[in-house]
């Protein structure tokens, strides 16, 4: 086809009317989801009534043909969420979010699509088949997550019953101690606090009675194997027990706090001068529990966090209980670790402002120093609140009011200011050259630890350098040059270390006493841990996959293209890009959050939703490059995916394929627009589609004409080529102006 023919809008019209669709070559930007995966999602969707699921958490009331409820995602004083039972969709126009039952669970619980799918499948009694996992785990085995969840739940319930109604003297001491800390029955029940008897086999025997093995007890983290011997014993003994729940409120581990009276008795019995063990003990890392990812009390705090757009992060579970009792509901706690980037990614699904509340002792001050790097790299407003007089949150609230704590949290400095204040405390920045230089080098050292450059990170660093300039009275340019020098020095140091490691590994041990030892080559070393070549929904571990953790509320964060593409369609996988790739073309840059479909793109997709027949033609005729936004391009590719799978191109199928909550919201919004204008649009969908194709071609014509004119103006072409190009342009314009 010549340039003249291609540029002609008339050609498009004839092409469409004759039903002789031109299949234009373009890059496929997605890969197919396994058919079974689509079928499972469709089965779960069909077996779930959105009114039942939303009505379980929210008070729904009928309004016309729909239901309405107060939206849980903003401070809703009157019902602004609409639930459409017929279409199985929901929408809040105030928040401008909506979708199907999957996206509601994702938004409500702050989880990714696989977790929402598993949750709804369990609710519907549908088993999710496993894809490409190798041997299937057997129920009852220590490798089966469902079995471990059952074991932890059984032990938590037994501990709860022991505290609530146990007749032993120890149980009474535990209740007395709880009362002395001001924890009443309502909060004991809310947090499911229990008591672990001072027994070596209480939990182990409980699980045995429920036909769960000692191997399961150890894998669940409630028992410890005996060194060099068979058998195991209870991990927790004589302690107050705090179940650790995931974001869905399911117990995945436990934490135990010492009870002074029982601890003293145990220490006396041992006679070794011990103090009864550590004050707090958390369960170990298991298939269910990753300390650096989980936050205590998140499932209880998430709604209050959304309402406040802020979260207070404590250092212990008793601090969360204390703040909750004081009326502060938006608090959570880390579990034996410092605040991590994974924690921040989880919290960013709910809030923008994170306030780390630290004890006022020296340990708390040291921990405050450690989060500056996190502040620089995390896309969050991270604040540091160090409590006065060495107090922890519970002690502070016992002496002062919750209003005082909230006021201090509101005034808390960000991590950068906190660090600068600490470094310059008592320092005369105009005279104390040594301490000022040390402070500057410390700050720059932190900034060099940031990951590979991105525009957002670099902008943040530039702003931090401005603040350093104001603090130390030095030009920003001088600090920038020193930062680059420190970066180069660090890079050179790492290169030298890498060369040394390589030489040391290749040449074997250099010690003459070990000259006969076999050389250990790099190939013989233990390989770096890599994700499996493919993964199922069931096997997808959001804790093990850093890419999954980076996909926050919208599911597409910075660095998306750096992650391996999914075995599924990119639309199916936009919330969890960490799965490994099958071979295929590279994924496109996904839409930015808030890039709603507008203009002619919106008109096109409204037509496709109204008419699956037109959609079948559009998937072949529309070039993605014609579309204005990446959101529209991704939705078009979703239709193309469905077409390649031989599935219906109706809106229900599109929603089943999509796993990204933002894209689902776009579809629901378009459906609502179509419904609102019902009866007011006179032209049939195929006629409107023809007009849109013409508009696309005219837009391409204008763009190509501009390019050709610029080429004529800038290039030194032979005279005959210039004339030929001008003739083509004039001829194309005449065809364009010809009435049709």
Classify residue 398 as left (phi > 0), alpha (psi -120 to 50) or beta: alpha
Q: Give percent of the chain with pLDDT exceeding 70.
A: 71
Where does the pLDDT of residue 520 fall: very low under 50, low under 70, confident under 90, or very high at 90 and above?
A: very low
Q: What is the DSSP letter of 518?
A: P
Mean pLDDT is lowest, of 4-18, 503-517, 698-712, for 4-18
The confidence score (pLDDT) of residue 507 equals 54
Interstrand relation of 381-386 and 353-358 (parallel, antiparallel or unpaired): parallel
CA atoms within 13 A on the CB side of 733: 12
Buried/exposed 653-663: b ≥16 CB within 10 Å, e otherwise = bbbbbbbbbbb
Say whether pLDDT at 533 is over 60: no
Mean pLDDT is lowest, of 74-88, 512-526, 539-553, for 539-553
DSSP codes joined into one string, 392-428: -HHHHHHHS-HHHHHHHHHTPPBHHHHHHHHHTTT--
> 654 by DSSP, 3-state: which?
helix
CATH no. for 145-282: 3.90.980.10
Q: What are phi and psi of 355, to 5 degrees?
A: -110, 115
| pLDDT, tens digit (0-9, with 9 covering 90-100), for 671-708 | 888 888 776 766 788 888 888 888 887 776 666 666 66
CA-based nearest residue to 360, from 405, 425, 329, 402:
405
The confidence score (pLDDT) of residue 47 equals 87
Tell me, which fold does domain 301-482 have in CATH? Dna Topoisomerase Vi A Subunit; Chain: A, domain 2 (3.40.1360)
The confidence score (pLDDT) of residue 132 equals 42
Where does the pLDDT of residue 405 fall: very low under 50, low under 70, confident under 90, or very high at 90 and above?
A: very high
Evaluated on CA atoms 367, 372, 378, 383, the torsion sign reads positive
Say whether pLDDT at 331 is over 60: yes
* Distance in angstroms (rounded) separating the CA atoms of residues 143 and 287: 8
- Helices assigned H by DSSP within 32-166: 35-46, 50-57, 101-109, 113-124, 145-165
| pLDDT, tens digit (0-9, with 9 covering 90-100), for 380-399 | 788 989 888 878 888 899 89
How high is the mean pLDDT of the chain?
76
Neighbour-count burial of 258, counting CB atoms closer than 10 A to its CB (0-12 exposed, 13-18 middle, 19+ buried)? buried
The confidence score (pLDDT) of residue 254 equals 95
Mean pLDDT is lowest, of 115-124, 451-460, 487-496, for 451-460
Say whether pLDDT at 515 is over 60: no
Tell me, which fold does domain 35-124 have in CATH? DNA Primase; Chain A (3.90.580)
Longest CA–CA span in the chain (Å) reads: 105
Kindly report the number of other CB atoms within 10 A of residue 36's CB atom: 12
Q: What is the DSSP letter of 589?
A: P
The confidence score (pLDDT) of residue 377 equals 66
Specify whether the CB–CB gap between 248 and 53 falls below 8 A: no
* Distance in angstroms (rounded) separating the CA atoms of residues 194 and 358: 26
The CATH homologous superfamily to which domain 599-701 belongs is: DNAb Helicase; Chain A (1.10.860.10)
Segment 81-102 mean pLDDT: 89
- Domains of the chain by residue range: 35-124, 145-282, 301-482, 599-701
The confidence score (pLDDT) of residue 321 equals 93
CA-based nearest residue to 676, from 93, 104, 97:
93
| pLDDT, tens digit (0-9, with 9 covering 90-100), for 15-70 | 333 333 333 333 333 333 445 588 888 888 888 889 988 988 888 888 888 899 98
CATH fold match for the domains 145-282 and 301-482? no
| pLDDT, tens digit (0-9, with 9 covering 90-100), for 138-178 | 788 888 888 999 999 999 999 999 999 988 999 999 999 99
């Amino acid at each position: 086809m010549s340039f003249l023919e291609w540029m002609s809008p008339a050609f498009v019209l004839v092409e469409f009317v004759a039903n002789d669709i031109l299949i234009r070559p373009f890059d496929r930007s997605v890969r197919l989801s396994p058919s079974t995966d689509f079928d499972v999602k469709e089965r779960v969707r069909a077996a779930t009534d959105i009114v039942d699921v939303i009505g379980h958490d929210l008070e729904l009331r009928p309004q016309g043909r729909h239901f309405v409820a107060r939206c849980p995602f903003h401070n809703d004083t009157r019902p602004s969420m609409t639930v459409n039972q017929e279409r199985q969709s929901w929408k809040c126009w105030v928040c401008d979010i909506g979708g199907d039952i999957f996206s509601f669970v994702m938004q409500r619980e702050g989880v990714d699509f696989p977790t929402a799918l598993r949750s709804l499948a369990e609710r519907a009694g549908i088993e999710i088949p496993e894809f490409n996992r190798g041997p299937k785990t057997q129920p009852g085995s220590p490798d089966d997550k469902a079995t471990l969840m059952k074991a932890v739940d059984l032990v938590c319930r037994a501990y709860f019953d022991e505290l609530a109604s146990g007749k032993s003297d120890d149980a009474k001491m535990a209740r007395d101690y709880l009362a002395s800390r001001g924890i009443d029955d309502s909060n004991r029940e809310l947090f499911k606090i229990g008591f672990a008897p001072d027994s070596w086999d209480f939990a182990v025997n409980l699980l045995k009675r429920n036909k769960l093995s000692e191997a399961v007890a150890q894998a669940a983290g409630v028992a410890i194997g005996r060194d060099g011997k068979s058998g195991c014993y209870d991990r927790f003994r004589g302690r107050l027990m705090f179940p650790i729940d995931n974001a869905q409120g399911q117990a995945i581990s436990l934490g135990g706090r010492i009870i002074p009276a029982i601890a003293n008795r145990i220490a006396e019995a041992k006679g070794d001068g011990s103090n009864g063990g550590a004050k707090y003990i958390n369960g170990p890392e298991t298939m269910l529990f990753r300390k650096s990812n989980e936050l205590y009390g998140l499932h209880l705090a998430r709604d209050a966090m959304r309402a406040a757009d802020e979260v207070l992060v404590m250092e212990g579970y008793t601090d969360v209980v204390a703040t909750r009792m004081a009326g502060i509901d938006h608090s959570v706690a880390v579990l034996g670790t410092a605040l991590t980037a994974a924690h921040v990614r989880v919290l960013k699904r709910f809030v923008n402002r994170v306030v780390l509340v630290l004890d006022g002792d020296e340990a708390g001050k040291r921990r405050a120093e450690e989060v500056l790097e996190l502040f620089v790299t995390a896309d969050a407003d991270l604040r540091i609140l160090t409590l006065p007089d060495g107090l922890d949150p519970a002690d502070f609230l016992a002496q002062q009011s919750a209003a005082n704590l909230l006021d201090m949290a509101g005034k808390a400095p960000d991590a950068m200011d906190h660090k600068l204040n600490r470094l310059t405390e008592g320092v005369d920045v105009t005279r104390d050259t040594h301490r000022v230089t040390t402070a500057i080098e410390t700050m720059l050292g932190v900034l060099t630890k940031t990951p590979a450059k991105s525009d957002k990170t670099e902008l943040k660093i530039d702003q931090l350098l401005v603040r350093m300039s104001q603090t130390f009275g030095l030009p920003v340019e001088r600090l920038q040059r020193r930062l680059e020098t420190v970066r180069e020095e660090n890079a050179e140091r790492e290169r030298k270390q890498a060369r040394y490691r390589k030489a040391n590994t290749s040449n074997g041990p250099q010690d003459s006493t070990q000259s006969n030892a076999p050389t250990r080559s790099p190939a013989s070393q233990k390989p770096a841990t890599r994700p499996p070549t493919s993964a199922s929904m069931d096997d997808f571990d959001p804790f093990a996959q850093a890419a999954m953790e980076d996909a926050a509320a919208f599911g597409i964060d910075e660095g998306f293209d750096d992650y391996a593409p999914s075995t599924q369609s990119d639309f199916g996988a936009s919330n969890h890009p960490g799965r490994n790739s099958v071979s295929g073309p590279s994924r496109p840059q996904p839409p930015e959050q808030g890039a709603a479909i507008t203009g002619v793109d919106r008109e096109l997709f409204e037509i496709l939703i109204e008419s699956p027949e037109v959609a079948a033609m559009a998937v072949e005729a529309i070039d993605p490059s014609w579309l204005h936004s990446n959101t529209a391009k991704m939705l078009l590719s979703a239709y193309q995916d469905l077409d390649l799978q031989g599935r219906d191109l109706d809106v229900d199928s599109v929603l089943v394929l999509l796993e990204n909550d933002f894209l689902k919201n776009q579809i629901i919004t378009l459906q609502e627009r179509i419904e609102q204008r019902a009866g007011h649009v006179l032209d049939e969908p195929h006629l409107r589609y023809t007009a849109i194709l013409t508009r696309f071609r005219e837009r391409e014509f204008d763009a190509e004409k501009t390019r050709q004119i610029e080429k004529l103006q800038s290039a030194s072409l032979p005279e005959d080529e210039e004339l030929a190009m001008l003739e083509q342009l004039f001829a194309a314009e005449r065809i364009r102006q010809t009435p049709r």
